Structure 1
Amino acid sequence: MKNTLARGLTNLLPMVLSIWLFWSLFISLDGLGQLLLNSLGAPFMFVGAGFILVAVIVFIAGLLFSVSPIVWVYGWLERQLMKFPLFKSVYGSIRDIAGLMNRDGKPKTQKTVLVKQASGGYVVGFIMSDNTPQPLTDALPEGDWVPVLFQLSYQVAGITTLVKRDELINVDWSFEDAMRFNLTAGISTAKGNDVAKQKETSR
């Protein structure tokens, strides 16, 4: 009984939460779009019309940001607002997250590596960038240093450590799979192996 409930919860919970999250996002954006339509005097049309309007506005904004004068004006406005410390902290964090989401056309520098510890064990890490900030490069001893992220289990947060490139062991493992391994402390990989074994047994 207990195992059956746990199995049902394990399989249903991720699907239900994912659908709820995307549905909540859809409703929020649709409500924002409907508010814009109402402010323009347009009558209520159908559920989803506001979401379509928001999507169109975002698409048009993307087109406009390909025009140099608009990019320059927006950059100037951004620099003026960044002079306010509180705005700089909040806006900077959101902008960095948005930048991580938009990786199209940019080389993916994230690589999975192993870093040897003093105890002889190894820790899974990620090279997030091939470039180290110049102030850090000037302060560090001579060598090819790269920032390596060590993800904490069950947390989005992690620890960034500077490690010499020749002390890293490259791993032929996708960033997404390795990140999932770290976030779940290896549980997701163990679960995947169990499913694979069950499929082999059933053949």
Structure 2
Amino acid sequence: MKRTLIRGLLNVLPMALSLWLFWSLFASLDELGKLMLSTVGQQSLFTGAGFLLVVMLVFIAGLLFSVSPIVWLWNWVERQLMRFPLFKSVYGSIRDIASLMNRDPSKPKNQQTVLVKQANGGYVVGFIMTETAPQPLLDALPEGEWVPVLFQLSYQMAGVTSLVKREDLIMVDWSFEEAMRFNLTAGISKPADENGEQH
């Protein structure tokens, strides 16, 4: 009885939470769109009209950002706001996360999964996020080809970045997404096969 209940919970809960999250996002954007329509004296014609309006405005913004004067103006406003330390910290973090999510699948991915040997003889899974470290760090380090390696912490989006010599890295033929899932869940979550079964 208990085992069956847990098995049902483990299968239903992720789907239910995912659907609830996407529905909440849809409802929030729909309400925002309805608010914008009401400010110009228009009524929402159907459920989802506000959501479609927000999507359309975001699409138009994407088109505008392909025009050089708009990009220059936006960059200027961004530079002015970045003078405020609190705004710089919050905005910079959100922008970095958005940039990480906006990866072009047609371009080669820079993220390489690696193993790094520890002092006790064990190995830690890490990720090369970029091939070059900042010059001030390279100037302060001893000679060698140093690479920034991210060590993700289990059950957290946070991680620790270490500089490791390339010669001390073991390259692993493992996708960034699967290796990240392994690190985030401490190996509990495993990729599903084509039939959707867990290995």
TM-score by shorter chain over 0.5 = yes
Secondary structure at 1:188's aligned position in 2? coil
| Alpha-carbon offset, residue 107 of structure 1 | 3.9
Deviations 1:89-120 (A, max 9, x none): 11111111111111126542001100001111
Counterpart position of 1:7: 7
Q: With structure 2 as the length reference, what TM-score do the two structures score?
A: 0.94
How does 1:98-177 map onto structure 2 within 5 Å? 98-104=98-104, 107-177=108-178
For 1:57, the aligned partner's letter is L
- Aligned structure 1 segments of 4 or more residues deviating by more than 4 angstroms: none
- Relative distance call for 1:82 and 1:190 in structure 2 (3 A) is closer
How does 1:72-87 map onto structure 2 within 5 Å? 72-87=72-87
RMSD between superposed Cα atoms in Å? 1.6
| Alpha-carbon offset, residue 143 of structure 1 | 1.1
Counterpart position of 1:44: 44
Where structure 2 has 5 or more consecutive residues not aligned to the other structure, the ranges are none
Secondary structure at 2:126's aligned position in 1? strand
Greater fraction helix: 1
For 1:13, the aligned partner's letter is L
Secondary structure at 2:74's aligned position in 1? helix
Rounded Cα–Cα distance in structure 1 between residues aligned with 2:8 and 2:65 = 47
Secondary structure at 1:187's aligned position in 2? coil
Rounded Cα–Cα distance in structure 1 between residues aligned with 2:39 and 2:99 = 31
Rounded Cα–Cα distance in structure 2 between residues aligned with 1:54 and 1:44 = 13
